[in-house]
């Protein structure tokens, strides 16, 4: 049976985009075996979203591997046992989707650089152009253990706030969201690169140079300019070309 025929055109398009994003996250080495997760809201009034089936490596993710769930964690249109979802993934992602309808796509990672910066008391330092994208636009959430409690959802969304799109989960990792798959990818890519640069800069042992406060704010404002959406779209299409030879396998 044609897998696409099982879903509405809107849901199938969302599945294909999300599967491609999973593979791009793998391409850029932002995976942690079968852990971490990416979710995408499905168009429609139900507030359902797609997330990975627990146990599938990101580089193998297909559109048909994604699981449709509601905000209560119920698997929809499939076998709950076969379509198992990581509970911690549900807690974190459902929190954001419930509180921030503007963030249609949410990415959570456990990279070495992201975890390292999350464990540094000062957090992300304003020492690179990539980091300055998040100047005044980055939130932090205190570590509470593995995110298995639904009660933590309120604190996650309170810490993220109403406007920021990126969150450092202390002693844990990174989270970024966007109005689209393309924007979420753009946010996590810049945040990850900023963390990588910070770890390497601090490892060198030399005194760090900080731009002035005025330049930091100016740079952050430049990233939020009017043509940002066009630049994000160009970057997404360029990124997709990196996995173009996988297109038939992820869209299945």
Alpha carbons within 13 A on the beta-carbon side of 178: 21
pLDDT 10s digits, 93-111: 999 999 999 999 999 999 9
pLDDT 10s digits, 144-188: 999 988 899 999 999 999 999 999 999 999 999 999 999 999 999
What's the domain range around 45? 3-251
Question: Alpha helices, DSSP H only, in 146-209?
Answer: 152-160, 181-203
pLDDT 10s digits, 45-96: 888 999 999 999 999 999 999 999 988 888 887 655 557 888 888 889 999 9
CATH number at residue 84: 3.40.225.10
Tokens of 221: 């404002």
Bridge-partner residues for 75, per DSSP? 69
pLDDT score at 1: 47
**How would you class 79 by CB atoms within 10 Å of its CB: exposed for 0-12, middle for 13-18, buried for 19 or more?**
exposed
Split into its structural domains, the chain has a count of 1
* Residue 77, Ramachandran bin (φ over 0: left; ψ between -120 and 50: alpha; else beta): left
Model pTM score: 0.94
**In contact, 90 and 76? CB cutoff 8 Å:** no
């Amino acid at each position: 049976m044609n897998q696409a025929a099982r879903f509405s055109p809107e849901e199938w398009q969302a599945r294909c985009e999300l599967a491609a994003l999973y593979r791009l996250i793998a391409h850029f080495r932002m995976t942690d075996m079968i852990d971490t997760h990416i979710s995408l809201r499905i168009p429609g009034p139900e507030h359902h979203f797609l997330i990975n089936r627990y146990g599938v490596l990101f580089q193998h993710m297909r559109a048909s591997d994604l699981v449709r769930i509601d905000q209560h964690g119920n698997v929809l249109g499939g076998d709950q046992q076969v379509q198992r979802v990581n509970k911690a993934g549900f807690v974190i992602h459902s929190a954001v989707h419930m509180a921030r309808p503007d963030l249609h796509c949410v990415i959570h990672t456990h990279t070495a650089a992201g975890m390292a910066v999350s464990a540094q008391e000062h957090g992300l330092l304003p020492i690179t152009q990539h980091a300055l994208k998040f100047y005044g636009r980055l939130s932090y959430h205190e570590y509470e253990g593995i995110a298995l409690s639904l009660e933590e959802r309120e604190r996650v969304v309170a810490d993220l706030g109403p406007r920021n799109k990126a969150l450092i989960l202390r002693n844990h990792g990174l989270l970024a969201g966007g109005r689209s798959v393309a924007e979420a990818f753009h946010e996590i890519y810049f945040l990850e690169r900023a963390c990588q640069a910070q770890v390497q800069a601090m490892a060198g042992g030399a005194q760090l140079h900080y731009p002035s406060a005025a330049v930091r704010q100016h740079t952050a404002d430049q990233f939020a300019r009017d043509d940002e959406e066009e630049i994000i779209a160009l970057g997404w299409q360029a990124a997709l070309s990196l996995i173009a030879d996988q297109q038939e396998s992820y869209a299945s």
